[in-house]
Structure 1
Amino acid sequence: KIKRKHAFHSHILTKKSTKRKRGLVGFTVVDDTNMDRIRLMLKF
């Protein structure tokens, strides 16, 4: 499994609710449909 960070948590945080921002904290797992592409990028 490959972990990744959540998107949309770096700027313009004023219009996002606290609940939404809290949900974007931490890591999630890369989906199986993207796994082959990610492995090619992480080859080295």
Structure 2
Amino acid sequence: MPNTVFRRLLKAMSEPGVIVSLQQLQHGWQPLNVASTSLLLTLADS
């Protein structure tokens, strides 16, 4: 999952205006939504 989210994040950043979906998790950390939680977990992964 982190690899997929990372690739989609790179695509969104390299092509402004392109909308990508990040709906990989079932639940996000409150008050964050699922996409924000996926993004943070991906960037914090070492």
TM-score normalised by the shorter chain: which range applies?
under 0.3
Higher RCO by CA contacts (8 Å cutoff, separation 6 or greater): 1
The structure with the greater share of residues assigned to helix is: 2
Larger strand share, 1 or 2 = 1
TM-score with structure 2 setting the length: 0.27
Task: With the length of structure 1 as denominator, give the TM-score of the two structures.
Answer: 0.27
Rg larger in structure? 1
